[in-house]
Structure 1
């Protein structure tokens, strides 16, 4: 993920590959999937290039998959449906769709009808005109609950921007346009889809990441998959992102810095106690400061050795870790 790439040199498209791939993860959206596909078809009618739709069913327990499969016979619709073996989460489903996509550009959006497909052609044009690698949607007039969704989202966006250095108004908007050559350099894991701009910033300059205002609709069917409890998970994920962005290729620097800091503090404490014992003749055997000094010294040794082990593990496994974060049960295409 840290490898540098030349984004100005587009990889040649395979023969018959579409210009744009639309990736939509769906989970228990049986009431939304039909109007969603209809709106996408209507919005993309005037798109000048070829496009495809990739629906990823993330282990739905309702009739989402059968409803989506009805569109496989739709004339003129280039549709691929990826059925995952179980519910792996939105991030893994998004990764599965990106891996399946064949387009030069990739658009992602939610399957709950809150993102507006009519924004996609405008975003594609803006991405090309501004020469960006990633264009993020900004739900300026968000149609969600203030306490449950908006306030936690505002806090998360502020913290992410401060820590990652990528300043955006809306990290959580799933409506994004990517250059395929860039996003396919990034491996998404866990629940890290909110941090995609930060991951992309690890392979391209942040100046090639932009945002644009998009339309946001209130949820019409079903219930939200997120609540205020997600704020705590976002904070934990943010700490992981901060670590991986700064120390993924050099974890020894992180643990080593902590180890040297605690070691220096232990040396100061033990030296002070040595002066107290030798120069002033004080009894230091029962002083808590002595125990603290030795504990800090042991912690320093443990942190430094942990850093060395982390460096060894990173060098051995970093380039060989190609295992996917999802399992595909079936891929449906036209005629299935």
Structure 2
């Protein structure tokens, strides 16, 4: 049994998924680490109206500290975290990221390690690669380790080029206590559903793999969910729901013939970056259609556990031949795969192995777990 760690985690939000796609990743990892005996304090800013759109109350498996989105709030939280065994700065906190990335490093002591956990590594690497003055470039070698939630060997190699002491992907996964099959609900019924916030590096791919398919299949029904799509032009067979809270995700995933995954641009280019929602949909036993990216076969068997489309035309072809029985069988196989190999319990054990000796192993743990 590894020695339990006192972990201070600075990230966007644990209690709200509002404009916060990493929420369920954080929840899955933190809860699984807590079950292994580790103690986590999660520091999140009161920003972007997230506290007004909470999905969960403060959990009993982590201490949540909501600090004012001010410099003073940041420094008070940093001081409170002093003395933790492990201090984590996640990417994309949303406010004072540069300040946090610099100041957490001042908390390094004998017995205290500081790591950077990148939940959007392709975007981070593209940003610092195009801007030699980006402050993060000089800080990367000072972190004890970089963790990512995807990206595989290309991301690891890129972080190494920027001087990272080590880089290890800990992939998205399933929390089977949160995402599981439920009865379908009429309000979420459709032939194809997509859930995702409107982001600049995703919108064009949603046009290609979802909205254009709806225009070309007027007799089929489509369901769009996520924040920011209010004024997006769409055909009459596309219903728009807006933000769907995590408490409704199981019903959303279980009520359509198929659920679509659309990667963000950078994650599609790098590959080996399955979105959290892929595992959540599989955990609900949904039939998944995903856009094509390198490494899919490391997580699911294409055409047996997941459908893969390289274009909007291929999405339409899959949808036209996907009978209810075929879709149900594929969803059942995907569910078995994620429960056997891709839960947050698996990821937490990987995390624990990395830090079990009390000093980071800077080797690369490659491929899918």
Q: Higher helix fraction: Structure 1 or Structure 2?
A: 1
TM-score normalised by length of structure 2? 0.24
- Which structure has more relative contact order (CA 8 Å, sep 6+)? It is 1
Larger radius of gyration: 1
